[in-house]
Amino acid sequence: MHLPDVQDLLQATVTGGLLGGLFALTALGLSLVVGVMRLVNLVHGELVVLGAYIAFWVTGNVGGDPLVMLPVVALVAAALGAPVQRLLLQPLARHGTEAPLLTTFALSVVAQNLLILGFTGNTRSIDRDYTRSLVHLGSVTVPTIYLISFAISAVVSLAVHLLVTRSAFGRRLRAASEDPVAASVVGVRVGGLHTITYAMAAAVAAVGGALLGMCFSFTPTSGIEYLLTGFTVVVLGGLGSVKGTFVAGVALGLVESWGAVVMGDGYRLFVGLLVLLVFLTVRPQGLFGRTA
């Protein structure tokens, strides 16, 4: 542990804030599923890692820039997520919350092993010129991909926020979240909304995973770290709050970066979880409370 100088803190602040936007994007899908479906989705980390592997495979075998292929990554993940929710999780949800929770845990284990079978357990990364280049912002130097990832995260988060708060679909979504029985009585197809929500959550998680794969290396077992980070962001921001998720993601990125400067890079996750525990004692409902 050491006392950082001003330059170190400034570097950590800029880097942490940019990475925090990416944390928010990877947690956004988890926030939607928990907030709307009241489902603790333990396979979320694997959905994030899946996005990284989809981008890795597509760019390696089909060609093209991984940023340009992000819509393909989102569509593939949504196509995989929708039938899982419709055919597996939705029937189990009628029997309580325990069965879907345990099923997502089983899916997490299955997904890890399938990724190992398909891609081996070797460490992978998505390499392009802009993933290795740096941008100088005054006295601070940050990787170009951090800026690109933050911009994409902000745009996607804003789009999802507007969809949830300003559209007819969003009104139905909020109604189904608040009272599924009453919503179904007035004609809202709650089951269909849940399927769309899960598919959208998988797509957003996969896009975040693809961007993470351009920033860091990954393996089939990297999902647990992303799951823990996602839960931290969701709880800090408020369950189901898109705005809260983005703010909490940036805040977590800042706290982890500051903690890494003071305590060492290996303590990033420890600092984030410690802040979560302290925050829960003060404001257990999160920054923006529970919303649809």
CA distances from 50 to 40, 72, 164, 166 (A): 18, 13, 25, 30
CA atoms within 13 A on the CB side of 38: 13
pLDDT tens column, 189-224: 888 889 999 999 999 999 999 999 999 999 999 999
Cα separation, 228 vs 244, in Å, equals 17
Of the ranges 74-88, 181-195, 230-244, which is most confident? 74-88
Please give the helix or strand (H or E) that residue 136 lies within, else none: strand 134-137
Cα separation, 88 vs 99, in Å, equals 10
How crowded is residue 78: how many other Cβ atoms within 10 Å of its Cβ? 18
pLDDT tens column, 41-97: 999 999 999 999 999 998 888 878 899 999 999 999 999 999 999 999 999 888 778
pTM given for the model: 0.91
Cα separation, 287 vs 281, in Å, equals 13
Nearest to 288 by CA among 236, 232, 230, 231: 236
